[in-house]
């Protein structure tokens, strides 16, 4: 009997508004934190902190600059202008689901506006209608690395309790508007990323908090997002009766450096550092080990009456995650962390270690821990694709990456009994990468003719992987096991 994925498995792709849309001043859109994120092409790709450390001076320079070539997310892949063409190509591949995000600053340009921006709401109406035309189910992230900049400058981002209320208003607005168009939702993308890039996730700029411990700022902002996520789940369930709301975490799977007990303990501690965020959203309360961390580090979370009850009453329905690579101890380079390279694994051009079995391990760990359906919403290979003289792109290396990961994904489902709703490859069309703000670090099945400075025709070209993925979806994975 030919192996294949379960009936109804949701195959598709994923993007984020701040990396794909462009049109940063179109249709009444306000400025987001991502519109002020400058690329650093002169910075070593392994220096993750240098790519993501933002100061008040950086913001001032961004607001004074009209040079969009320095701020790649202002142009993205110009999905804002090409969405019909792009969704048609997704449909040609056979997508069942398209994971995307709604730019908060398109709906509420300043974040604290009393009324939403109708032009922004209309844009997403059009996008969802285009998806529906081809039978593609939207999976929508409510907040994906782009709080409105005004919330940073006026309120100091998610450190301020008022953002919970502003987010509630945003969620009520989009749930009410799209209640007949969107069933699957995620609250905060990689909610755990507050600890790694607090500016893009939480609108936090360290120099704006003199005299306050940075850890205190980060975890207070995190608490506000946990409460906001629970309230978003509540709102979504009340407005959309058949909705499913998930959390989204960065799945970092750590291996011990050796069998030395100290190394095993360190890997366990590192794993807890990943799980503490999803534990809170799934179980509706802070795990004991995170409370111990707060106590040991002198972090005091300021709560309002009812916070604990809201978090407990409205946990998420499913667990979604990103997976790109596994990690060793301490220091391989990746989207978010650095660690000792694993000698048993190959690496990509950006130093990411390719570990398909790590995906299976991650799925088993998450499902055993939470007993809730999983959804793999980010996975893929960033590479420097080349357009050949005949106009084609031969990205066999990407096909090889997906082939081995898909087989391990099915192993987790068939052999290990993991319930998995679906899979969306990251950057299904080329987008501006998050880690280095480059277009040349490409993930897509569809090539976008633009360089790191936003120059190009923005013509869309299917890569070799486009046709391969189309067959995978057509056969529900059966073609992976053909001779």
Active-site residue set: 190, 378
Joined together, the tokens standing for residue 79 give: 């999905």
**Residue 253 CB burial class (10 angstroms; 0-12, 13-18, ≥19):** buried
Q: Where do runs of H (alpha helix) occur along 178-260? A: 198-202, 214-239
Rounded to whole angstroms, the Cα distance separating 324 from 347 reads: 11
Q: Tally helices (H) and strands (E) across the chain.
A: 16, 12
Q: How far is CA 403 from CA 273, 317, 365, in A?
A: 30, 29, 22
**Contact yes or no for 27/443 (Cβ under 8 A):** no
**Contact yes or no for 410/479 (Cβ under 8 A):** no
DSSP at 325: -
Q: Where do runs of H (alpha helix) occur along 284-431? A: 288-297, 307-313, 356-370, 396-414
**Contact yes or no for 121/40 (Cβ under 8 A):** no
Rounded to whole angstroms, the Cα distance separating 217 from 478 reads: 49
Buried b (16+ CB within 10 A) or exposed e, 440-459: bbbbbbbbbebebebeeebe
Which of 291, 167, 284, 164 is closest to 219 using CA atoms? 291
Which of 321, 291, 304, 292 is closest to 191 using CA atoms? 321
Rounded to whole angstroms, the Cα distance separating 166 from 112 reads: 6
Joined together, the tokens standing for residue 268 give: 């366990």
Joined together, the tokens standing for residue 298 give: 């002198």
Joined together, the tokens standing for residue 121 give: 């709401």
Rounded to whole angstroms, the Cα distance separating 263 from 269 reads: 10
**Residue 225 CB burial class (10 angstroms; 0-12, 13-18, ≥19):** buried
Q: Pairing mode, if any, of strands 446-448 and 460-462? A: antiparallel
Backbone φ and ψ of 426, nearest 5°: -75, 140
Other C-beta atoms closer than 10 Å to the C-beta of 139 total 26
């Amino acid at each position: 009997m030919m192996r294949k994925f379960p009936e109804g498995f949701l195959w598709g792709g994923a993007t984020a508004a701040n990396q794909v849309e462009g049109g940063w001043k179109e249709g009444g859109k306000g400025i987001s934190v991502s519109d002020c994120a400058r690329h650093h092409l002169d910075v070593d790709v392994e220096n993750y902190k240098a790519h993501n450390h933002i100061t008040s001076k950086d913001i001032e320079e961004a607001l004074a600059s009209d040079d969009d070539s320095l701020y790649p997310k202002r142009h993205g892949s110009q999905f804002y202008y090409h969405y019909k063409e792009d969704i048609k190509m997704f449909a040609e591949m056979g997508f069942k689901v398209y994971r995307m995000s709604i730019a908060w600053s398109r709906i509420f340009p300043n974040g604290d506006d009393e009324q939403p921006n109708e032009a922004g709401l209309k844009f997403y109406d059009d996008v969802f209608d285009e998806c529906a035309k081809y039978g593609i189910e939207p999976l929508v992230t409510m907040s994906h690395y782009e709080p409105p900049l005004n919330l940073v400058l006026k309120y100091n981002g998610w450190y301020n309790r008022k953002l919970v209320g502003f987010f509630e208003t945003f969620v009520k607005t989009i749930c009410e508007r799209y209640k007949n168009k969107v069933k699957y939702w995620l609250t905060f993308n990689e909610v755990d990323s507050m600890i790694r890039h607090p500016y893009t996730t939480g609108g936090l700029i360290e120099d704006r908090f003199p005299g306050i411990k940075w850890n205190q700022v980060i975890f207070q902002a995190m608490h506000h997002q946990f409460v906001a996520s629970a309230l978003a789940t509540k709102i979504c369930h009340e407005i959309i009766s058949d909705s499913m709301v998930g959390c989204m975490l960065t799945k970092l799977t750590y291996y011990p450096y050796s069998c030395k007990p100290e190394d095993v303990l360190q890997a366990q501690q590192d794993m807890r550092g990943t799980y503490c965020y999803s534990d809170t959203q799934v179980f509706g309360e802070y795990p004991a080990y995170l409370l111990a961390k707060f106590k040991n580090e002198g972090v005091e979370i300021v709560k309002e009456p009812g916070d604990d009850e809201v978090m407990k009453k409205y946990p998420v329905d499913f667990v979604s995650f990103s997976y790109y690579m596994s990690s060793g101890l301490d220091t391989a380079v990746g989207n978010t962390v650095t660690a000792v390279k694993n000698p048993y694994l190959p690496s990509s051009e950006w130093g990411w270690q390719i570990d398909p079995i790590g995906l299976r391990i991650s799925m088993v760990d998450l499902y055993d821990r939470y007993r809730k359906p999983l959804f793999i919403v980010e996975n893929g290979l960033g590479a420097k694709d080349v357009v050949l003289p005949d106009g084609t792109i031969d990205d066999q290396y990407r096909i090889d990456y997906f082939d081995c990961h898909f087989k391990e994904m099915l192993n987790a489902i068939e052999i290990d009994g993991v319930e998995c709703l679906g899979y969306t490859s990251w950057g299904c069309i080329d987008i501006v990468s998050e880690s280095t703000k480059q277009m040349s670090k490409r993930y897509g099945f569809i090539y976008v003719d633009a360089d790191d400075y936003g120059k190009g025709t923005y013509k869309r070209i299917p890569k070799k992987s486009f046709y391969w993925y189309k067959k995978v979806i057509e056969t529900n994975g059966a073609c992976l096991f053909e001779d």
